[in-house]
Amino acid sequence: MNNYLLIVIIVAYLAFLFFLAYWAEKQKGRKLVNNPYVYVLSLAIYCTAWTYYGSVGSASHSGISFLAIYLGPVIALPLWIVVMRKIIRISKQHKISSIADFVSLRYGNNRPLGALVTLTCLLGIIPYISLQLKAVSETFALVANETSYVDMGVFGDSTFYIALLIAIFVAFFGTQSTDASKGKRGIMATIALESILKLVFFLVIGIFVVYILFDGTTDLYQKAVSTPNFQELSSFGGLENGFNWMFTICLSFFAIFLLPRQFHVAVVENQDIDHLKKAIWLFPLYLLLFNIFVIFIAWAGNLSLPADVNNDYYTLLLPLQQGHTTLALMVFMGGFSAVISMIVVSTLALSTMVSNNIIIPYGFIKKLVEGNPHENAKSIKSIRRIAIFLLIIVAYFFYERFSNQLSLYSIGLVAFVIIAQLAPSFFLGLFWRRGTAKAAKAGITIGLLIVVYTLLVPIVVNALSTSSTFVEKGLFGYEWLRPSQLFGLDYLTPESNAFLWSLSFNSLTFIGFSLVAKGNYRERNYAEMFVHHENYENLQEGAFVWKGEAYVDDIKRLLNRFLGEQRTLRALTIFNRKYNISEAEEKADSRLINFSEKLLTGTIGSASAKILLASVSKEKPISLVEVLNILEENKETKANNKLLFEKSKELSQMALKLQMANEELLQQDKLKDEFLDTVAHELKTPITSIKAASEILEDEDMPVLLRQQFLENISKDTDRLAKLINNILDLEKLSSDRTELNIETRSINSTVKKAIQGVERIAMQRGAKVDFRESDYLQGMYDEDRILQVLTNLLSNALKFTEKEKGIIRIVIAEEENDIAIAVEDNGRGIPEEDHNYIFEKFYQSKNQNTKKPQGSGFGLAICKRIVERHQGSIWADREFQKGARLVFTLPKSA
């Protein structure tokens, strides 16, 4: 393929990524970018060119070892539910933007430690980036028509321009916000797309090789079996290899947590902690798919390609050999995607680390303190951008100088070994409170020195091809100091050898130092916050103990410089509201210090944030014991506050209930007064009538007929009086449960009929129809006289409230699980909404009766309620019923 055409394709592809990133950046908060699949795919930057090309190369000459690189993450992912959850939670709470921030914050915003972690990462990752560039350059050369290729030095090398374009891409989309802990949607969207492309194209070439070039996997196996070293390639090997294998698994296990780019996508770019739910099973699946065809491509390459080609590029050479240029181009683009995503995220993560942990805290901070917010934001962004360009340029020159001597696989592993030096302080720091900053620094330093001695020096020496006696014979000629076989262990690979010794000494130093000397109060405070994160998460700003003097104004001025006045004001308003602090408060407390530190951490890193705040406050050292006591206190206060809050909620609820009860009582009281008035009135009426009549009867001239009429009146009024008094007594008795009920099994049908007979006469007078649908033969357990009383009452009420000649009253019986429900419906004017709650209260009479004069004594329904309740039933008015009133009561069914 013409290499200019290839360049056009590459540029078009990059332009497309620019466009995609730009578009995704605009999709604020959309599901498209913020979903678990994008998260999983972004984790797949783990698969770099090393996976894409290096795995096949490794499988073709060293057999199984490539697989260990993926088994580590597969083992690690289930543990994420505990470990990564914790890391993400802590990082989100503290606005952590890189692994260097994370480690330095854990050890009390330790500035040198942050710088050390950053340097470690640079040491490991820059060569790694170089190797990616090397892969691009070499695959470019393979795919491009080599005859048209003219070497014109650095500026004629297309790889240089590709590197520059990538740098522009990262610089543009990676520094949109000064707060480095904020997600970069645009970049993540392109990463996700690239992860899909590289997997799909890799699977495509796998299928092509297995099913087109060969006749399936079995065919390939049978052909490959006869190759000379097949036995070695397809089996595990001896026990000694078992150690190399295990160390590689451990290396990759650490790498999935600690590689700056992995930390960046897994932690900093995590939009939602619940994305872990998908990632834990889906990411291993992605890795599995990526590995299925590796051995077959390797075998196929061994079978079909000459022995002198670079094994790493079998995936390209196999289709090219068959003249499938398009397929080769696809493979190239897949590998290119893997390279870009790796470089993009790595430089992004490294540039943040370099700016926040080295450049700003060690030099730029003074300038920032004097600048205004606009200038500062600009300077911070410029620092990061320059860092991005520097990183890529340095990586490019490293590639230019060393690329010929190193394979993808080995440099990848070297990077892993270097990054693994962070493991003791990272993991132990996460679960062990005692770890101190000094110990972390010592451990990492020792570990790095050992890696340099055992791994880097021999590589560099080999690369410079100057024979060195100490590599061959050991330092000062001591055999046991031979870098690659330290202490005489001669069966380990150089990487395993370096890993074993560096990590052993690193861990021992870390643990030893931590046990020998305690950390200062600040370290211990952060240790508490990290290790027992679940306890302190709720405490938030209260989780940090600080004693000293600081003024809100000074802090405000400081925040203004970095966040701008608007954001500062907003943040402080939220803060004040959250803790109920007065705006006029002059002195800052530890919560404000901690809050401000967090705000600044996202922008300039935790170490610089600490320095800045120290510059505007006078911190008083406190003892470790004091810190722990205060923390404990804060926890308790928090718990107490919660308790208090709950109690006061309870109290106010109780007060409300009391108020309601009081109102009810008042209402009852009022009702009682009204009732007594009514009773008095009702009693007085027949008495007046009797008294008047008896006075009139004194008149001896009265005609006999009239006299009889008056006597009859007296008799009726007396009956009325007696009935009234009986009702009052009845209710009293029912209410105080003094009446014995005569409960028997009875037919509800016959009881209802009896009740209807009782009101038949009044119904006829009012011209009302009483309709009763007899139901099945239902037996209830009740006192028939009492239930008759209820029914009669309900029926007479119904009659009373229906219009003359138009009344229709219906009795409906329904069978329920344990009860019989009896409903009395009428087509009268219904029960007004406001009366529903009261109609069953004694003394209550509807204000809406059409006469001011109460009809009846006001006991009817109250008595009904008492009777029904004594039968363990309930009575209510159906609010849903629109055509009139429907009163329903239930009675127990006979067993």
Partner 1 sequence: MKMKKRHQQKLVVLGLVLFLLWNVPFVSIFDGEFQLFGFPAFYIFIFLSWLLAIVIAYRILKKFYE
Partner 2 sequence: MKKKILIVDDEPNIVMSLEYAFKKKAYEVFIARDGTEALEIAGEQLPHVILLDIMMPKLDGYATLKELRKNKALHRTKVIFLSAKSKLADIEKGLQLGADSYITKPFSIKKVLTDVDKMIA
**Nearest CA-CA partner of 786 in 834, 832, 754:** 754
- What residues numbered 847-866 form the site for partner 2, per CB under 8 A? 850-853
| 52 is a contact residue toward partner 2 (CB under 8 A) | no
- What residues numbered 626-685 form the site for partner 2, per CB under 8 A? 677, 680-681, 684-685
Partner touching 219 among partner 2, partner 1, none, CB below 5 to 8 Å by kind: partner 1
Query: Which string of x and - marks every residue 5-34 that binds partner 1 (by CB under 8 A)?
Result: ------------------------------
Give min distance, CB of 703 to partner 2, in A.
10
Contacts of 71 (CB under 8 A, 6+ apart): 249, 252
DSSP category for residue 551: B
CA 866 – CA 697 distance, rounded (Å): 43
Contacts of 374 (CB under 8 A, 6+ apart): 564
Query: Which string of x and - marks every residue 198-227 that binds partner 1 (by CB under 8 A)?
Result: ------------------xxxxxxx-----
CB 780 within 8 A of CB 851: no
Query: Which string of x and - marks every residue 258-297 that binds partner 1 (by CB under 8 A)?
Result: ----------------x--x--xx--xx--x--xx--xx-
Q: Which stretch binds partner 2 (CB under 8 A): 60-68, 538-546, 711-719, 795-803?
A: 711-719
| 695 is a contact residue toward partner 2 (CB under 8 A) | yes
CB 792 within 8 A of CB 755: yes
Give min distance, CB of 509 to partner 1, in A.
25
Give min distance, CB of 860 to partner 2, in A.
19
For β-strands 886-892 and 875-877, DSSP reports them as antiparallel
- What's the angle, vertex CA 605, arms to CA 599 and CA 608, rounded to 5? 95
Report residue 500 as tokens.
């074993």
Q: How many CA atoms lie within 13 A of 469 on its CB side?
A: 4
Tell how far CA 823 is from the center of its chain.
Answer: 53
Report residue 38 as tokens.
């994008």
Partner touching 216 among partner 2, partner 1, none, CB below 5 to 8 Å by kind: partner 1
Q: Which of 717, 784, 825, 826 binds partner 2 (CB under 8 A)?
A: 717
Q: Which stretch binds partner 2 (CB under 8 A): 215-223, 417-425, 608-616, 694-702?
A: 694-702
Partner touching 374 among partner 1, partner 2, none, CB below 5 to 8 Å by kind: none
Phi/psi at 244 (nearest 5 deg)? -55, -45
Amino acid at residue number 484: S
- Region at 876 (left for phi over 0; alpha for psi -120 to 50; beta for the rest): beta
- What residues numbered 295-334 form the site for partner 1, per CB under 8 A? 295-296
Rg of the chain in Å (alpha carbons)? 44
Residue 673 or 785: which CB sits closer to partner 2? 673
Partner touching 852 among partner 1, partner 2, none, CB below 5 to 8 Å by kind: partner 2
Give min distance, CB of 686 to partner 2, in A.
8
CA 462 – CA 796 distance, rounded (Å): 113
Q: Which of 150, 152, 239, 584 binds partner 1 (CB under 8 A)?
A: 239
The end-to-end CA distance of the chain, in Å, is 94
CA 539 – CA 363 distance, rounded (Å): 34
Partner touching 79 among partner 1, partner 2, none, CB below 5 to 8 Å by kind: partner 1
Question: What is residue 622's three-state secondary structure?
Answer: coil
Give min distance, CB of 848 to partner 2, in A.
14
Residue 382 or 688: which CB sits closer to partner 2? 688
Inter-CA distances, 430 with 99, 106, 451, 721, Å: 13, 8, 24, 88
| 675 is a contact residue toward partner 1 (CB under 8 A) | no
CA 503 – CA 454 distance, rounded (Å): 12
| 236 is a contact residue toward partner 1 (CB under 8 A) | yes
Partner touching 684 among partner 2, partner 1, none, CB below 5 to 8 Å by kind: partner 2
Query: Which string of x and - marks every residue 38-77 that binds partner 1 (by CB under 8 A)?
Result: --------------------------x--x---x--xxxx
769 forms beta bridges with 808
Give min distance, CB of 716 to partner 2, in A.
7
Partner touching 82 among partner 1, partner 2, none, CB below 5 to 8 Å by kind: partner 1
Contacts by 607-612, CB closer than 8 A, 24 or more apart? 607/104, 607/109, 607/110, 607/111, 607/114, 607/115, 607/356, 607/357, 607/361, 608/356, 608/360, 608/361, 608/365, 608/368, 609/109, 610/109, 610/111, 611/111, 611/361, 611/365, 612/365, 612/369, 612/558
Residue 244 or 507: which CB sits closer to partner 1? 244
Partner touching 680 among partner 1, partner 2, none, CB below 5 to 8 Å by kind: partner 2
CA 617 – CA 612 distance, rounded (Å): 9
Residue 288 or 696: which CB sits closer to partner 1? 288
CB 863 within 8 A of CB 739: no
Question: What is residue 185's three-state secondary structure?
Answer: helix
Residue 126 or 220: which CB sits closer to partner 1? 220
Q: Which of 379, 713, 718, 735 binds partner 2 (CB under 8 A)?
A: 713
Residue 19 or 281: which CB sits closer to partner 1? 281
Partner touching 538 among partner 2, partner 1, none, CB below 5 to 8 Å by kind: none
For β-strands 808-815 and 819-826, DSSP reports them as antiparallel
618 forms beta bridges with 549
CA 742 – CA 270 distance, rounded (Å): 73
CA 775 – CA 750 distance, rounded (Å): 11
Question: Which residues lie near partner 2 (CB under 8 A)?
Answer: 677, 680-681, 684-693, 695-696, 699, 702, 706, 709-710, 713, 716-717, 850-853
Question: Which residues lie near partner 1 (CB under 8 A)?
Answer: 64, 67, 71, 74-79, 81-82, 216-222, 234-237, 239, 242-243, 245-246, 249, 274, 277, 280-281, 284-285, 288, 291-292, 295-296
